[in-house]
A and B are shown apart, each in its own frame.
Chain A
């Protein structure tokens, strides 16, 4: 059984629909999850965790005792004392490693007598990460875990994830806006735009699914305008992404190259913005 299987999931809000989302998170890999603000990443993750009830479709996941979770905002009572809270949360799990947690707290400068309300944003993320790892999970679900972390913190988190995934029975699913983290970490990539999954596969395949095309103004035909994603025009030329399947239609004089993940994400987001 895959750690997460989302099957034709639909969730409607006023002004937003998570539309027929299907995806699986496999074991042995780190799956990155990107998309513009409001594209539906958090909603998808919440649905996977059962926080959001789907209007239709289904979600199956491993038992929660096997899942470590980092949410975009720490879901703790501001008045809890860290030490008390840790003791109370440990009681929910069959296994609990105080050492793993202590290492994370130590790095974040978090003390047991701190109150939740006294933590900085980055400290809150590290606390969540420590709690997620302490019960020896097999699956990590992380919603923007690097947001609020300083460069050292981000690098430490990347190392933690890389180490975690060396056990091939483990799986990681994380959303992010920081594409360099994806390039360094992710084996697989899921791109979501306006509530729809528009790319899902191994990072290299997703990247190969797009071609970066550059040319002079006279090469920009109306047909090209139709197939171009995230077109940028200047007085001297233009630049756009074209789906790999459409690339054969480009004339030989147009310069083609492989786009970065950043360029793909930006092009997709720009398009969502225009429509």
Chain B
């Protein structure tokens, strides 16, 4: 068997897929089949979307968490792949995963036969949130390890939630502001677009930070 010039990034993605294959059944049930049935039966996204986001959030923990427990970083270091390429492969796989999630969320939305076009903002917002969660988690796991990072993420989510809540409350109290947003474009599509762009930038920044954190590590 001879591959003339192997693509190391693709090889790494293939190796990582071995880990995901194991949890394929549970991912399919909780992340795909149940949300699909719920969306078709109830024509509602209220339960389906959190389930997809929940399953989608464990992506980073699955791959990077495994590395710690099985000394896999030592395997990667003995392969021809560089540390930079390794992280790039992980983010490439993560991006594929996010794209698939986005398509699936759009499909779910279509199945609920949305009554208004604004409903289509929901899958986009959900993908943006999923992206932000993973973009935050990956560097945290590389820096602090999977177990501690989950707690750090809960903490961050709590703080962010409290912040959004109090800022929101404050804004709702401002009558001038309510008059400012008059169209649905401003109410829904502008924030959606902003969040989507933020999420993409965050993913890029996260990739860069993770590269640097990973490069400094001993295994």
- Residues of A contacting B14 in the complex (Cβ-Cβ under 8 angstroms): 88, 91
Chain B interface size band reads 20 to 34
Contact of B70 among A46, A50, A75, A98 (CB under 8 A): A75
Add 7 more A-B contacts to A75-B78, A92-B81 (CB < 8 A). Answer: A46-B74, A49-B78, A53-B218, A75-B73, A77-B18, A89-B79, A91-B14
B45-84 contacts to A, CB under 8 A, are 66, 70-75, 77-81
One digit per residue, 1 when the CB lies within 8 angstroms of any chain B CB and 0 when it does not, for chain A 89-127 equals: 111111111100000000000000000000000000000
Q: Which of A67, A75, A78, A98 has the most CB of B within 10 A?
A: A75
What residue in chain A is nearest B19 (Cβ atoms)?
Answer: A77
* B154 sits at the interface (CB 8 A): no
In the bound complex, CA of A53 to CA of B89 (Å): 22
Q: List residues of B whose CB falls within 8 A of some A CB.
A: 1-6, 8, 10-12, 14-15, 17-19, 21-22, 66, 70-75, 77-81, 216-219
Instruction: Evaluate contact between A51 and B80: CB separation under 8 angstroms.
Output: no
In the bound complex, CA of A65 to CA of B79 (Å): 7
User: 9 closest Cβ contacts across the A-B interface?
Assistant: A91-B11, A69-B78, A75-B75, A75-B74, A65-B80, A64-B80, A75-B71, A88-B15, A51-B219
* A76 sits at the interface (CB 8 A): yes
In the bound complex, CA of A63 to CA of B79 (Å): 10
Known: A64-B80, A91-B6. A78 touches B70 (CB 8 A): yes
Instruction: Evaluate contact between A98 and B81: CB separation under 8 angstroms.
Output: no
Known: A80-B18, A88-B14, A92-B8. A51 touches B3 (CB 8 A): no
Q: Min CB distance, B22 to chain A, in Å?
A: 5
- Residues of A contacting B81 in the complex (Cβ-Cβ under 8 angstroms): 64, 92
- Residues of A contacting B72 in the complex (Cβ-Cβ under 8 angstroms): 75-77
- Residues of B contacting A88 in the complex (Cβ-Cβ under 8 angstroms): 11, 14-15, 17-18
Contact of B77 among A51, A91, A94 (CB under 8 A): A51
Q: How many residues of A contact B (CB 8 A)?
A: 33
In the bound complex, CA of A91 to CA of B209 (Å): 28
Known: A80-B18, A92-B11. A52 touches B219 (CB 8 A): yes
One digit per residue, 1 when the CB lies within 8 angstroms of any chain B CB and 0 when it does not, for chain A 27-39 equals: 0000000000000
In the bound complex, CA of A189 to CA of B38 (Å): 68
Q: Which of B11, B81, B216 has the most CB of A within 10 A?
A: B11
Known: A53-B216, A73-B71. A94 touches B79 (CB 8 A): no
Known: A53-B218, A71-B78, A84-B18. A90 touches B5 (CB 8 A): no
What residue in chain B is nearest A11 (Cβ atoms)?
Answer: B218
In the bound complex, CA of A98 to CA of B1 (Å): 7
Contact of A76 among B1, B8, B70, B80 (CB under 8 A): B70
- Residues of B contacting A51 in the complex (Cβ-Cβ under 8 angstroms): 73-74, 77, 218-219
- Residues of B contacting A95 in the complex (Cβ-Cβ under 8 angstroms): 2
- Residues of B contacting A84 in the complex (Cβ-Cβ under 8 angstroms): 18, 21
Q: Min CB distance, A3 to chain B, in Å?
A: 15
What residue in chain A is nearest B83 (Cβ atoms)?
Answer: A50
Contact of A93 among B3, B66, B74, B217 (CB under 8 A): B3
What residue in chain A is nearest B16 (Cβ atoms)?
Answer: A88
In the bound complex, CA of A95 to CA of B5 (Å): 9
* A79 sits at the interface (CB 8 A): yes
Q: Min CB distance, B82 to chain A, in Å?
A: 9
- Residues of A contacting B78 in the complex (Cβ-Cβ under 8 angstroms): 49, 64, 67, 69, 71, 75
Instruction: Evaluate contact between A96 and B2: CB separation under 8 angstroms.
Output: yes
